[in-house]
Chain A
Amino acid sequence: MTTIRRFSCNDLLRFASVNLDHLTETFNMSFYMTYMARWPDYFHVAEAPGGKIMGYIMGKVEGQGESWHGHVTAVTVAPEYRRQQLAKKLMNLLEDVSDKIDKAYFVDLFVRASNTPAIKMYEKLDYVIYRRVLRYYSGEEDGLDMRKALSRDVERKSIIPLKRPVTPDELEYD
Chain B
Amino acid sequence: MASKFGLAGGIPERRVRPIWDAIDSRQFKNALKHCTPLLSKYPNSPYALALKALVLERMGKAEEAFSVCLNAKELLYTNDSVLIDDLTLSTLQIVFQRLDHLDMATSCYEYACGKFPSNLDLMMGLFNCYVREYSFVKQQQIAIKMYKIVGEERFLLWAVCSIQLQVLCGNGREKLLHLAEGLLKKHIASHSLHEPEALIVYISLLEQQSKYGDALELLTGKFGSLIMTEVDRLRLQGRLLARGGDCAAATSIFQKVLELCPDDWECFLHYLGCLLEDAGSLCVGTKNDSTYPLKSMDSQVSHLTDEAFGSRLSNASSLVQKLLTEASDDTVRCPYLANIEIERRKLLHGKGDANKLTEALIEYFFRFGHLACFASDVETFLHILDLDKKTQLLEKLMECCERIPTNPRKTLGQHITVFKIQNIVGSMFTLPLNELETTAVKMTQLYCENLPLSKDLDAQESMYGEDLLSMACNLLVQLFWRTRHIGYLVESIMILEFGLAVRRHIWQYKILLLHLYSHWSSLPLAYEWYKTLDVKNILLESVSHHILPQMLSSPLWADSTDILRDYLRFMDDHFRESADLTFLAYRHRSYSKVIEFVQFKERLQQSSQYMMAKIEKSILQLKQKANNIEEEEGILESLKHGVQFLELSDEIGSKSLTFNEELQLRPWWTPTCDKNYLLEPFEGSSYCTQETLHDQIKQSQAKVVKTIEKRSLLPRMVYLSIQCASSSFKESVEANGVVFDPKLSSELRLLLDRYANILGFSFQDAVGLAFDISSGLKDSEAWSCNLIDWMNFLVFLNAWNLYSHEVDGDSNRHGTWLIVNSILKKYILDKVGSMGPLESSPGCDLPNLVLLVTEPIAWHILVIQSCARSLVPSGKRKKKGGPAENFNVQLSQELQESILSVCETIELVRQWLNQQIIKSDDYKSESILSSLLEDKEEGPGKVYRVLESLTSSTSDVDFGDRITRALQSWSATVISRKIICSQRTALSNFLKICDSKIKSLQALKAHL
A96 to B457, CA, bound (A): 31
Q: With an 8 A cutoff between CB atoms, is A125 at the interface?
A: no
A19 to B539, CA, bound (A): 8
Q: With an 8 A cutoff between CB atoms, is B388 at the interface?
A: no
B373: A residues at CB distance < 8 A? 48, 54, 80-81, 84
Q: Which of B291, B458, B507, B603 contacts A117 (CB 8 A)?
A: B458
Taking a contact as CB atoms under 8 Å apart, the answer to whether B505 and A30 are in contact is no
A48: B residues at CB distance < 8 A? 265, 373, 376-377
With contacts A1-B265, A3-B265, A48-B377 taken as known, whether A13 is within 8 angstroms of B460 at the C-beta atoms is no
A144 shortest CB reach to chain B, Å: 15
- Interface members, chain A 20-34 (any B CB < 8 Å): 20-23, 26-30, 32-34
Q: Which of B293, B458, B538 contacts A29 (CB 8 A)?
A: B538
With contacts A9-B600, A14-B291 taken as known, whether A2 is within 8 angstroms of B537 at the C-beta atoms is no
A4 to B265, CA, bound (A): 10
- Interface members, chain B 327-341 (any A CB < 8 Å): 329, 331, 333-334, 337
Taking a contact as CB atoms under 8 Å apart, the answer to whether A51 and B293 are in contact is yes
CB-CB nearest 10 A-B residue pairs: A9-B600, A37-B585, A3-B266, A20-B507, A51-B293, A33-B581, A22-B505, A1-B333, A37-B584, A10-B289
Taking a contact as CB atoms under 8 Å apart, the answer to whether A16 and B596 are in contact is no
A47: B residues at CB distance < 8 A? 266
- For the complex with contacts A9-B597, A49-B265, 10 further pairs of A-B residues with Cβ separation under 8 Å are A1-B265, A14-B662, A17-B662, A19-B539, A40-B593, A49-B337, A50-B376, A79-B508, A101-B228, A117-B458
With contacts A20-B543, A80-B376 taken as known, whether A40 is within 8 angstroms of B590 at the C-beta atoms is yes
Q: With an 8 A cutoff between CB atoms, is A156 at the interface?
A: no
Q: With an 8 A cutoff between CB atoms, is A152 at the interface?
A: no
A30 shortest CB reach to chain B, Å: 6
Taking a contact as CB atoms under 8 Å apart, the answer to whether B537 and A29 are in contact is yes
Mark B480-520 against chain A: 1 for CB-CB distance below 8 A, else 0: 00000000000000000000000001011000000000000
Q: With an 8 A cutoff between CB atoms, is A64 at the interface?
A: no
Taking a contact as CB atoms under 8 Å apart, the answer to whether A10 and B600 are in contact is yes
Q: With an 8 A cutoff between CB atoms, is B574 at the interface?
A: yes
Q: With an 8 A cutoff between CB atoms, is B798 at the interface?
A: no
A83: B residues at CB distance < 8 A? 371-372
A146 shortest CB reach to chain B, Å: 18
A10: B residues at CB distance < 8 A? 287, 289, 600, 603
A54: B residues at CB distance < 8 A? 373
Tell which of B460, B573, B585 has the most Cβ of chain A within 10 Å.
B460
Q: With an 8 A cutoff between CB atoms, is B534 at the interface?
A: yes
12 interchain pairs, CB-CB under 8 A? A2-B263, A9-B603, A17-B665, A22-B507, A22-B534, A29-B573, A49-B376, A82-B462, A84-B371, A97-B229, A115-B460, A117-B460
B461: A residues at CB distance < 8 A? 117
A101 to B539, CA, bound (A): 33
- Interface members, chain A 127-151 (any B CB < 8 Å): none
B665: A residues at CB distance < 8 A? 16-17, 20
Q: With an 8 A cutoff between CB atoms, is A167 at the interface?
A: no
Mark A69-92 against chain B: 1 for CB-CB distance below 8 A, else 0: 000000000011111110000000
A29 to B576, CA, bound (A): 11
Q: With an 8 A cutoff between CB atoms, is B380 at the interface?
A: yes
Mark B535-555 against chain A: 1 for CB-CB distance below 8 A, else 0: 111110111000000000000
- Interface members, chain B 361-382 (any A CB < 8 Å): 371-373, 376-377, 379-380
Taking a contact as CB atoms under 8 Å apart, the answer to whether A16 and B662 are in contact is yes
Q: With an 8 A cutoff between CB atoms, is A100 at the interface?
A: yes
- The count of A-to-B residue pairs whose CB atoms sit within 8 angstroms is 151
Interface residues on B, range: 35 or more
Q: With an 8 A cutoff between CB atoms, is B577 at the interface?
A: yes
Q: Which of A37, A97, A100 contacts B597 (CB 8 A)?
A: A37
With contacts A37-B581, A52-B376 taken as known, whether A26 is within 8 angstroms of B265 at the C-beta atoms is no
B593: A residues at CB distance < 8 A? 36-37, 40
- The residue of chain A having its C-beta at the shortest distance from the C-beta of B461 within the complex is A117
Taking a contact as CB atoms under 8 Å apart, the answer to whether A13 and B462 are in contact is no
A49 to B335, CA, bound (A): 13
A17: B residues at CB distance < 8 A? 662, 664-665
B585: A residues at CB distance < 8 A? 33, 36-37
Q: With an 8 A cutoff between CB atoms, is B39 at the interface?
A: no
Taking a contact as CB atoms under 8 Å apart, the answer to whether B458 and A51 are in contact is no
Taking a contact as CB atoms under 8 Å apart, the answer to whether B584 and A12 are in contact is no
A137 shortest CB reach to chain B, Å: 14
A100: B residues at CB distance < 8 A? 228
- Interface members, chain B 259-291 (any A CB < 8 Å): 263-267, 287-289, 291
Q: With an 8 A cutoff between CB atoms, is B175 at the interface?
A: no
Q: With an 8 A cutoff between CB atoms, is A38 at the interface?
A: yes
With contacts A29-B574, A50-B293 taken as known, whether A1 is within 8 angstroms of B377 at the C-beta atoms is yes
- Interface members, chain B 678-717 (any A CB < 8 Å): none
Taking a contact as CB atoms under 8 Å apart, the answer to whether A79 and B462 are in contact is yes
A70 to B896, CA, bound (A): 77
Taking a contact as CB atoms under 8 Å apart, the answer to whether A20 and B533 are in contact is yes
B816: A residues at CB distance < 8 A? none
Taking a contact as CB atoms under 8 Å apart, the answer to whether A16 and B581 are in contact is no
Q: With an 8 A cutoff between CB atoms, is A8 at the interface?
A: yes
A14 to B371, CA, bound (A): 22
A1 to B333, CA, bound (A): 5
A80: B residues at CB distance < 8 A? 372-373, 376
B508: A residues at CB distance < 8 A? 79
B270 shortest CB reach to chain A, Å: 10
Q: With an 8 A cutoff between CB atoms, is B660 at the interface?
A: yes
B505: A residues at CB distance < 8 A? 21-22
Taking a contact as CB atoms under 8 Å apart, the answer to whether B581 and A30 are in contact is yes
Tell which of A13, A81, A85 has the most Cβ of chain B within 10 Å.
A13
Taking a contact as CB atoms under 8 Å apart, the answer to whether B462 and A49 are in contact is no
A26 to B334, CA, bound (A): 30
A79 to B462, CA, bound (A): 7
With contacts A9-B597, A13-B660, A48-B376 taken as known, whether A84 is within 8 angstroms of B581 at the C-beta atoms is no
Taking a contact as CB atoms under 8 Å apart, the answer to whether B588 and A38 are in contact is yes
